Chains A and B, each alone.
Chain A
Amino acid sequence: MFNFSDLLLEQLTLELRFENAFLYIDKCGSILRDIFAKYPSATAESVAVNETKIVLPDTQISLAFSPARIVLNQQYPSGISDIGEFGDFAIDRICKTLEISAYTRVGNRFIYILKIDDEKESLELMKNTGFFNIPQEKVSQMGDTLKSANIKFQITRDDEVGYGISLGHVNRTLNLLQLPKPIKYDASKFILSGLAVDVDFYTMKPVDSGNVKAHELIKKNIKDMESLISGLLK
């Protein structure tokens, strides 16, 4: 029986795309200075002509910005207040400094994982969606076990917003050697085998930048996730 509270939110991302914010080249340092003044623990992971990335190590929040987009990300968020408050502040500074008045696309992505050791269980849950049904006789024409099944689709609403949904069983290993150093990584939350549920909320029309408040948007979308995913998998 599926229960939404069993899902672990592994990654939360807010991506804002825009056009021709070439003031980035002139004013990147000014943005960094403003952000570091308010968030002294922030560290600049990379500062380059094409993209700048900063990280808040305590909360595992990262922010990358360039002349074409802003990407705000948090791994294993315990709540949305940290990313929401940081996002509101940083995005406002970037927009103001780079004089961005509209976004061409706003995307808010949630990657959840449900711990399931047996792939067959994942398959049963995916069948609950009604989007997936391969009769056993069709499987038996080729073999006996169905593996690596995935569901991927998009649903749009009024040609204004859309949801990109991807479901699939994952088996993975934690490779600490690939992670950047110095490292402080809590591996206790890492799930080796489970059903990954990836939902991407996105806009299909340009949005005035003043209407995008990171905290409000994430709060609204995370509420929606519960009804959307529960509706799919129950």
Chain B
Amino acid sequence: MKTDNIIADSETTPVSQIAESLRNIRGEVIDQSARMATYAPTISTEITDFATNILNTVSKFEGQMMSAESLYRPLRSDESVPSGIARIYKVINEYDKYLVNAIQIYEDEVARETEMTLFRRMPFELDYINIGGSNIGEVGTALKVALLGNVTKPCTLEQIIALRKILDFIKKDISVRETTIMEILSILDDQFGLAGPLAEVDIIG
């Protein structure tokens, strides 16, 4: 009888591992599709659609996980001051729409850049939300450096997808643990460069 229990336990995958796997799948899909879209610009729309379908499927599995929005939703819907976490979630959802629009109308450069200009306000809004023990402030600063450092150049599809990926990371980990912030900084550095003016400095020379 005891042996049965041991076998049953060992066959059960812990929820934490499933959550981690789904996060990794999501990250990989966004990464690879962005890369493929850059390599094959003629079929970028098809690649984006394909990636969206996979992400929708992943979301169905993620539906088994509870979102921060549900956890912090107050009983009274007329609550005038929602918790910091609920506010972060709201800001992210709101600004994510600009990124979605920018991807959908990517070929129309003027419209796309208008959407991206609207998106650039997001890190400044995050400044007004404070939750103790969270690294969200650091994410805001990194986003400001990344976005303002590239304000004179049009955004690439890969950059916009990277920004969506970052918002996705924050939604899954509002407190932005060290592992998450390292991933975010790595993405921002890859796509936008976080060195600022120092990037032009030739250290060796």
Contacts and interface: CB of A to CB of B under 8 A. Distances in A.
Interface of A: 18-20, 84-85, 88-89, 92, 95-96, 100-102, 104, 106, 158, 160-161, 203-213, 215-217, 219-220, 223-224, 227-228
Contacts of B65: 102, 205-208
Nearest to A204: B66
Contacts of A158: 70
B201 interface: no
Interface of B: 14-16, 18-20, 64-68, 70-72, 74-76, 79, 83-86, 131-134, 172-178, 180
B130 to A, nearest CB: 11
A211 B83 contact: no
Contact of B175 (A160, A207, A211, A223): A211
B76 A96 contact: no
Contact of A102 (B19, B70, B84, B134): B19
B133 A96 contact: no
Contacts of A100: 16
A215 B132 contact: yes
Contacts of A88: 132-133
B74 A224 contact: yes
A205 B66 CA distance: 5
A109 to B, nearest CB: 16
Contact of B72 (A18, A85, A216, A228): A216
A203 B132 contact: no
Given A216-B72, A220-B72, 10 more contacts: A20-B14, A85-B132, A89-B133, A95-B177, A102-B65, A208-B68, A211-B68, A213-B131, A213-B133, A216-B85
Chief secondary structure at chain B's binding surface: loop
Residue of A160, A211, A217 with highest tally of chain B CB at under 10 A: A211
A206 B19 contact: yes
Contacts of A215: 131-133
B176 A210 contact: yes
A231 B98 CA distance: 40
Given A203-B66, A219-B83, A223-B79, A213 B74 contact: no
Nearest to B85: A216
Contacts of B180: 210
Given A213-B134, A215-B132, A104 B83 contact: no
B173 A102 contact: no
A227 B74 CA distance: 10
Given A161-B70, A206-B66, A211 B85 contact: yes
Nearest to A225: B75
Contact of B83 (A96, A106, A204, A216): A216
Nearest to B20: A101
Given A208-B65, A227-B75, A160 B70 contact: yes
Contacts of A101: 16, 19-20
A31 to B, nearest CB: 16
A224 B134 CA distance: 23
26 contacts: A19-B15, A20-B14, A96-B177, A96-B178, A101-B19, A101-B20, A102-B15, A102-B18, A102-B20, A161-B70, A205-B65, A206-B15, A206-B65, A208-B173, A210-B174, A210-B177, A211-B66, A211-B71, A211-B85, A211-B174, A212-B71, A213-B175, A220-B74, A220-B83, A223-B79, A224-B75
B38 to A, nearest CB: 30
Contacts of B132: 84-85, 88, 213, 215-216
Contacts of B76: 224, 227
A226 to B, nearest CB: 9
A92 B76 CA distance: 29
